[in-house]
Amino acid sequence: MSIKDNIQKILPKINKDVTLIAVSKTRSVEEMEIAYREGLRDFGENKVQELVNKSEEFHKDVRWHLIGHLQTNKVKYIVGKVHLIQSLDSEKLLHEIEKRYSQKNLIANVLIEVNIGKEESKSGIDLVDLDSLLEKCETCKNVRVKGLMCIIPKGSDKENRAYFKKMKIIFENLKTKKFNNVSMDILSMGMSGDYELALEEGSNMVRIGQGIFGPRNYEREVK
C-alpha cells in the first residue's frame, strides 16, 4: 500500500481527540510531503540532528516531536524547534532543558518517559523514581510537563494491553493530584503494531512510522 493509502486506512480508527504522530525518522522529505498533503502536521524524530535538518527544510507549520532518547549535550540544538519533548527521563536532563530554555526565555513542553517494562535496553524513568522527578519539575520555570510517554516491551496482545492498562492507571492517578508546572493532558503510547490496543486502553497520542511509511531504511539513519 502507498503512504496515502496507509494514512487513509489509519485515520478512521483514530478519534478527533487523539493526536497522530507520523514517525519520520530515516524518511525523506518527499515521503513526508505525502503525509503532509494528507493533513498530518505532527512529525516525530528520534535523532536531534535529523529533526533540526528537517525542520529547516520542511513546512513551517509542522509540530516536531522529539521521541528518542535525548542526550544532555544535544538539548541546546532543539530549543525553539520542538513542539514536544517526549523523552524526559532523568533529573540531569530536566536541569539541562531548564537551563537551555531559560537562556532563551522559552517554555519546553515535555512528557516524562516511563520505562514501564523495566527493560535495560530502553530509556525511560523507573516508576520508583517518578515522584521524585515530578517534584523536581515543580521547581522549574521553563519546563512544563504535559503527560507521560512509554515504549512497551514486545509481546502478545494480552501482555501489551496489560502494560497500556498500567500506564493509564498511573496517568489517571497523577491527574487527581495538583502539581506546579505539571498537567496530565497527554498519554503517548502505541506504535505501528499496537496502536489500536493502546487507543482502547486510553492513549490520546500514537506514534506511527512503519504503519504510515512502510519498512524503515536504516541506511539513511542519522547517527
**Domain boundaries along the sequence of the chain:** 3-213
User: pTM of this prediction?
Assistant: 0.94
- CA nearest to 185, candidates 109, 134, 115: 109
CA distances (Å), 203 to each of 73, 84, 86, 164, 215, in order? 31, 16, 14, 8, 24
Residue listed under C-alpha cell 536531534: 48
Q: pLDDT (tens digit, 0 to 9) for every residue of the chain, 223 residues total?
A: 899 999 999 999 999 999 999 999 999 999 999 999 999 999 999 999 999 999 999 999 999 999 999 999 999 999 999 999 999 999 999 999 999 999 999 999 999 999 999 878 788 999 999 999 999 999 999 999 999 999 999 999 999 999 999 999 999 999 999 999 999 999 999 999 999 999 999 999 999 999 999 987 655 554 4
Number of H helices, E strands in the chain: 9, 8
- Count how many residues are written for the chain: 223
Give the SS3 label for residue 209: coil
What's the CA gap between 206 and 215, in Å, rounded?
Answer: 18
3-213: CATH, from 3.20.20.10, 3.30.830.10, 3.20.20.70, 3.30.365.10: 3.20.20.10
